[in-house]
C-alpha cells in the first residue's frame, strides 16, 4: 500500500498537468477599446458603426479562419489550425484600431502585449495570422465610400429640413452584409395635409414640449440621447450584446459571431438610414410646429415659441429616426442570435442620468423605449420612430439570415 502511494505521488510530480487556456476576454476588451475610441474622437454614429463593424469582422474572420466552421464575413483566407484563437482575435482587433485610430496606437500596443503575455502555445502563429486578417480588413474597406465627407445643402419651404448636414456619403457606402441597402429605404412620411401627419404632430407637440414638466420623459430621453462624445447608439447595442454574452459565457467563436453579426447590421442600417434621410429631407418637429401655418393642414396649429424637450432642433433630416433604426437592428440581431427576445438585462448607457442603469424584460422593450425617447425629446415624429424600428428589424433579420452561416470543415489540405 505504501509503495503504491509513493508511486502515485511520484507520477503526480513528474507528469505535467495541462492548464486551461487563460481567459483574456478578447472580444470584450477590444470592443471596449473601440467604444473608447469613438468617445474620444467624438465620432458620428455612422463612423462609429463602421469602426465597430471593421473591428468585429476582423476578429470573427481571424478566429473563423482557424476553426473554419462558418462562411467568412469579409476575408476568405484560412489560417494555421494550430494557431491560438485568442491571439488571433486580439491581434486582428489591434490591427484595425491602430489603422483607424493611430493617435492611440501606443495604448493598443500595450494592451496587445499584455494579452499575448498571458497566452501560451500557438500564440505567435495566432498573432501573426490575426494581424494579417486585421490589415486585410483595413485595406478592403479603405475605398468603401465613407470618405471624403459630403454634405446636403440646407432646404427651404414647408416639410423640408432647413439646415445643411454632413455625412451624406454614407448613403452609398459599400455594405458589409446586405446586398443592396437602398432596397430597405421605406416609403415616404405621411403627407403634410394628411390625418396621419396631424395625429403624429399632436403627439410630439405634447410629449416633446419642453414647456411641459415631465421628469420621467426627460430622463428617458437623456438615457438614450447618446450624442457625440459617447459610444453613439451603435455602441450601446454593442455593449448590451457584450454584457448578455458575458453572462452566458459564450465561447470565443460564438461571441465573435454575435458581435460581427450585430455590428455588420448596425453598419448596414446606417447606409439605409442616411439614404432615407437624404431622399425625403423631412423637417424636424421644432420647425414643423413653429411653422404649422404653412403646412396646409387645418388640424395643426402653429406655436412659434415651441421648443423641443431635447433643447435642440436636431442635426439631420427627421425621417427616419436613426436611434430607432439602430435599436430595431440591434434588438433583432440579439433576439435571433439567442433564439428568443425575452431575455432580461440591466444596462446603463453613456448618458444615463446619474449613471443609474435600467432593467428591460426583452431586447424589443429596450428598442421600443429607445425609439420613444426621440419623441419625448421632441426630436422625431412617431411615424419616423415606427419606420426606423421596422427598417432596423428588417436589415437585422436579413444579416442574420444570410451571413456567417455554418459550413462543414474543408478537407482540401489547407494549412494546418
Three cell numbers at 180? 443592396
Q: Is there a single domain that holds both residue 55 and residue 176?
A: no
**Structural domain count of the chain:** 2
User: Which residues constitute the domain of residue 290?
Assistant: 151-402
CB 59 within 8 A of CB 89: yes
> Is residue 412 predicted with pLDDT exceeding 50?
no
> Is residue 411 predicted with pLDDT exceeding 80?
no
Mean pLDDT of 165-192: 97
Does 231 or 20 have the greater pLDDT score?
231
Confidence of residue 300 (pLDDT cuts 50, 70, 90): very high
Helix (H) or strand (E) holding 346: strand 345-347
Asked if residue 82 belongs to a domain, the reply is yes
pLDDT tens per residue, range 307-325: 999 999 999 999 999 999 9
Q: Is there a single domain that holds both residue 80 and residue 186?
A: no
Which among 140, 171, 186 is the end of a domain? 140
Which among 87, 116, 140 is the end of a domain? 140
Predicted local confidence at residue 7, as pLDDT:
34
> Is residue 120 predicted with pLDDT exceeding 80?
yes
Predicted local confidence at residue 163, as pLDDT:
98
Q: Is there a single domain that holds both residue 236 and residue 166?
A: yes
Cα(296)–Cα(293) distance, integer angstroms: 7
Q: Is there a single domain that holds both residue 109 and residue 180?
A: no
Mean pLDDT of 171-177: 98
pLDDT tens per residue, range 8-43: 223 223 333 334 456 699 999 999 999 999 999 999
Three cell numbers at 56? 468585429
Q: Is there a single domain that holds both residue 181 and residue 130?
A: no
Among residues 279, 329, 249, the alpha carbon closest in space to that of 172 is found at: 279
Asked if residue 146 belongs to a domain, the reply is no
Mean pLDDT of 64-71: 97
Tell me the CATH number at 87: 1.20.144.10
> Is residue 294 predicted with pLDDT exceeding 70?
yes
Predicted local confidence at residue 271, as pLDDT:
98
> Is residue 188 predicted with pLDDT exceeding 60?
yes
Lowest mean pLDDT among 19-23, 245-249, 399-403: 19-23
At 300, give phi and psi (nearest 5°): -110, 145
Mean pLDDT of 165-186: 97
Cα(29)–Cα(376) distance, integer angstroms: 34
Cα(88)–Cα(242) distance, integer angstroms: 19
Tell me the CATH number at 157: 1.10.606.20
Q: Is there a single domain that holds both residue 213 and residue 169?
A: yes
Mean pLDDT of 336-351: 98
Q: Is there a single domain that holds both residue 276 and residue 216?
A: yes
- The dihedral built from the CA positions of residue 172, 178, 180 and 183, taken in this order, carries a sign that is negative
Predicted local confidence at residue 22, as pLDDT:
62
Mean pLDDT of 215-222: 98
Which among 140, 175, 204 is the end of a domain? 140
Mean pLDDT of 100-112: 98
Residue percentage of the chain with pLDDT more than 70? 93
Predicted local confidence at residue 410, as pLDDT:
57
Q: Is there a single domain that holds both residue 198 and residue 330?
A: yes
Among residues 283, 308, 246, 243, the alpha carbon closest in space to that of 162 is found at: 283
The residues, any chain, with a CB within 8 Å of residue 270's CB and separated by 6 or more, are 45, 46, 49, 50, 170, 173, 234, 322, 326
Asked if residue 407 belongs to a domain, the reply is no
Q: What would the DSSP string read from start to end of 261-308?
A: HHHHHHHHHHHHHHHHHHHH-BPPHHHHHHTGGGS--TT----TT--B
Asked if residue 3 belongs to a domain, the reply is no
Task: Give the chain's end-to-end CA distance (angstroms, integer).
Answer: 47
> Is residue 389 predicted with pLDDT exceeding 70?
yes
> Is residue 413 predicted with pLDDT exceeding 60?
no
Predicted local confidence at residue 185, as pLDDT:
98
Asked if residue 125 belongs to a domain, the reply is yes
Asked if residue 409 belongs to a domain, the reply is no
Q: What are the angstrom distances between the C-alpha of 229 and each of 39, 40, 41, 108, 370?
A: 4, 6, 7, 20, 18
Q: Is there a single domain that holds both residue 205 and residue 230?
A: yes
Predicted local confidence at residue 4, as pLDDT:
28
Cα(220)–Cα(351) distance, integer angstroms: 10
Predicted local confidence at residue 416, as pLDDT:
40
Helix (H) or strand (E) holding 5: helix 2-14
Confidence of residue 235 (pLDDT cuts 50, 70, 90): very high
Identify whether 148 is preceded by a cis peptide bond (ω within 30 of 0).
yes
Asked if residue 12 belongs to a domain, the reply is no
* Predicted model pTM: 0.93
Cα(67)–Cα(374) distance, integer angstroms: 42
Q: Is there a single domain that holds both residue 226 and residue 109?
A: no
Identify whether 249 is preceded by a cis peptide bond (ω within 30 of 0).
no
Q: Is there a single domain that holds both residue 121 and residue 182?
A: no
Predicted local confidence at residue 267, as pLDDT:
98
Three cell numbers at 171? 448613403
Q: Is there a single domain that holds both residue 163 and residue 186?
A: yes
Asked if residue 189 belongs to a domain, the reply is yes
Cα(205)–Cα(139) distance, integer angstroms: 47
Mean pLDDT for the chain overall:
93
Amino acid at each position: 500500500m505504501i509503495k503504491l502511494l509513493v508511486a502515485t505521488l511520484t507520477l503526480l510530480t513528474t507528469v505535467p498537468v495541462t492548464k486551461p487556456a487563460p481567459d483574456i476576454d478578447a472580444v470584450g476588451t477590444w470592443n471596449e477599446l473601440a467604444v473608447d475610441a469613438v468617445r474620444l474622437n467624438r465620432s458620428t454614429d455612422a463612423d462609429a458603426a463602421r469602426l465597430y463593424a471593421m473591428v468585429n469582422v476582423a476578429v470573427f474572420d481571424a478566429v473563423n479562419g482557424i476553426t473554419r466552421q462558418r462562411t467568412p464575413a469579409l476575408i476568405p483566407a484560412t489560417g494555421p489550425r494550430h494557431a491560438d484563437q485568442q491571439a488571433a482575435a486580439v491581434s486582428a482587433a489591434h490591427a484595425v484600431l491602430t489603422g483607424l485610430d493611430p493617435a492611440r496606437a501606443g495604448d493598443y500596443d500595450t494592451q496587445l502585449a499584455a494579452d499575448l503575455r498571458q497566452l501560451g502555445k500557438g500564440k505567435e502563429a495566432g498573432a501573426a495570422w490575426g494581424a494579417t486578417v486585421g490589415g486585410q480588413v483595413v485595406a478592403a474597406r479603405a475605398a468603401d465610400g465613407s470618405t471624403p465627407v459630403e454634405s446636403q445643402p440646407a432646404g427651404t419651404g414647408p416639410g423640408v429640413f432647413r439646415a445643411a448636414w454632413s455625412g451624406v456619403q454614407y448613403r452609398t457606402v459599400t455594405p458589409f452584409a446586405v446586398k443592396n441597402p437602398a432596397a430597405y429605404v421605406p416609403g415616404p412620411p405621411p403627407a403634410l395635409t394628411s390625418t396621419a401627419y396631424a395625429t403624429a404632430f399632436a403627439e410630439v407637440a405634447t410629449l416633446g414640449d419642453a414647456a411641459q414638466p415631465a421628469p420621467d420623459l426627460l430622463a428617458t430621453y437623456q438615457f438614450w440621447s447618446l450624442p457625440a462624445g459617447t459610444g453613439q447608439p451603435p455602441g450601446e447595442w454593442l455593449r448590451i450584446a457584450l454584457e448578455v454574452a458575458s453572462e452566458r459565457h459564450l465561447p470565443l467563436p460564438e461571441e465573435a459571431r454575435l458581435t460581427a453579426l450585430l455590428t455588420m447590421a448596425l453598419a448596414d442600417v446606417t447606409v439605409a438610414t442616411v439614404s432615407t434621410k437624404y431622399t425625403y429631407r423631412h423637417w424636424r418637429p421644432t420647425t414643423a410646429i413653429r411653422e404649422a401655418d404653412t403646412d396646409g393642414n387645418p388640424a395643426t396649429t402653429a406655436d412659434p415659441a415651441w421648443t423641443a424637450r431635447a433643447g435642440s432642433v436636431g442635426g439631420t433630416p427627421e425621417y427616419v429616426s436613426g436611434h430607432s433604426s439602430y435599436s430595431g437592428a440591434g434588438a433583432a440581431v440579439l433576439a435571433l442570435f439567442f433564439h428568443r427576445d425575452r431575455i432580461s438585462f440591466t444596462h446603463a448607457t453613456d448618458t444615463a442620468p446619474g449613471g443609474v442603469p435600467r432593467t428591460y424584460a426583452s431586447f424589443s422593450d429596450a428598442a421600443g423605449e429607445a425609439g420613444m425617447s426621440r419623441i419625448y425629446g421632441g426630436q422625431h415624429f412617431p411615424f419616423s420612430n415606427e419606420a426606423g424600428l421596422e427598417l432596423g428589424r428588417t436589415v437585422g433579420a436579413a444579416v442574420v439570415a444570410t451571413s456567417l452561416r455554418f459550413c462543414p470543415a474543408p478537407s482540401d489540405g489547407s494549412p494546418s
